[in-house]
Amino acid sequence: MSVNANDIEAIVRQVLSTMDGKGTASPAPYVSGGNGGGYDIPKTAHCAFLTDLKHFEIKEFPMPEVGDDDILVKVEGTGICGTDAAEYKFDPFKYIPINLGHEGTGTVVKVGKNVSRDSAGKPLGLGDKVVTCMIFKDDPSITMFDLNKQNVGEADVYGLIPDDERHLTGWFSDYILIRGGSTVFNVSDMDLDSRILIEPSAVLIHAVERAKSTGILRFNSKVVVQGCGPIGLICVAVLRTMGITNIVTVDGNDQRLEFSHEMGATGHVNFMNHKGIEALTEAVKKEFGGDLADFAFQCTGSPAGHSNIYKFIRNGGGLCELGFFINGGDATINPHFDICSKEITTVGSWVYTLRDYATTFEFLKAAKRDGIPMSKLITHRFDLKDINEAFETNIAQKGLKIAVMSGR
């Protein structure tokens, strides 16, 4: 059999695409074919569009052209975030109509000719599994190494951007078009459930990094986590993988409180069983053997929860407030008793930085090694066509993390 120069070049490119950057081979994509093809891509794509309050419609669009810097991804699954649920119920961002979904992951099925590596410099090609983070279209100087320089609040995120002529802007779709200038990470070494949990876990990685900046959070800290939704439960898991072993959770749902122990909590308090903040505070102290917490994470998004959290913290302790992803209303505190006289160090946390994503990958791998059952957080999985039911299940709090699974 004769082999011409073009054949040799194609073979070399294929071999190089399977190298991990250190001269060793990584698992090959399950379909080869170079940047131009290799997958049977349909002529149209389906997206779930929120067209009115509490109403998604599945819309069909022509498959867009993939530009030289673009990546076409076949979506596998996407988690429903509290922000998605708020948009579904109230449209606080005035985005309707919009293709939501920002906790997604999928398989690269087509790449532009200029695409060869992800945002961390890792080789990227057909068949790789990916997640996205931010689109710094207005500030390309932000890089992987700008730790805590800028969080996602100053950037765009897929699933929270307006529709355009190419569509496929959110992960609640069967395909998504990642545009040039976006951040994208090759996470082919992680299972599907872990990949769906990357985005919400990055929120907690960022929060814990903010908490560590106070100098108060240490291995032997007594930590209270208020709120046992997915965010609070992941918070417990992050703390546990750090080696913090004295964690008390506070919530009003017994099932979620019991599950917090699987994430790593050592005690819990159901606030429904205690009348008044004094009684609730005593219950928290009892779980800590008579002491108040050294540090607290407020994960509820409830103004009443924020007002109460200070009472659980010792003099000189710390607080990370991360529950308010949207405007949840005003909270009432007494600055003298709650902050000044106790000299509480408080940090706010809102979503994440680009660098937090790289840390998140290592957290999820560590949690798996430590036997923390992260996959159990995903309690329900719905087909894309059943997305309205998925959102209603989320709003009714019938589970923890609700996922929408795509594919045809």
Q: What is the pLDDT of residues 172-193, one digit of tens each?
A: 999 999 999 889 999 999 999 9
Handedness of CA 282, 283, 284, 287 (dihedral sign): positive
Comparison of pLDDT for 25 and 178, the residue scoring more: 178
Write b or e for each residue in 45-66: b if 16 or more Cβ atoms lie within 10 A of its Cβ, otherwise e: bbbbbbeeeeebeebebebbeb
**pLDDT above 80 (res 147):** no
For the chain, give the longest Cα–Cα distance.
85
Domain architecture of the chain: domains with CATH: 5-189+373-405 (3.90.180.10), 201-348 (3.40.50.720)
Comparison of pLDDT for 310 and 35, the residue scoring more: 310
pLDDT of residue 327: 86
* Whole-structure pTM value: 0.87
* pLDDT tens digits for range 292-326: 999 999 999 999 999 999 999 999 999 999 998 88
What average pLDDT is seen over the chain? 88
Q: How confident is the model at residue 156 (pLDDT cuts 50, 70, 90)?
A: confident
Q: What is the mean pLDDT of residues 153-168?
A: 87
Q: What is the mean pLDDT of residues 36-51?
A: 88
- Which of 2-11, 44-53, 100-109, 338-347 has the lowest average pLDDT? 2-11
Burial zone of 289 (CB within 10 Å; 0-12 exposed, 13-18 middle, 19+ buried) = exposed
Q: Are 75 and 111 in contact (CB under 8 A)?
A: no
Q: How far apart are CA 19 and CA 123, in angstroms?
A: 8
pLDDT of residue 352: 87
Q: How far apart are CA 281 and CA 88, in angstroms?
A: 35
| β-strands 103-111, 129-135 pairing | antiparallel
Q: Are 313 and 211 in contact (CB under 8 A)?
A: no
Burial zone of 380 (CB within 10 Å; 0-12 exposed, 13-18 middle, 19+ buried) = middle
Q: What is the DSSP string of 307-338?
A: HHHGGGEEEEEEEEE---SS--------IIII
**pLDDT above 90 (res 274):** yes
Q: 181: left (phi > 0), else alpha (psi -120 to 50), else beta?
A: left
Residue with tokens 């669009």: 61
Q: What is the mean pLDDT of residues 128-143?
A: 74
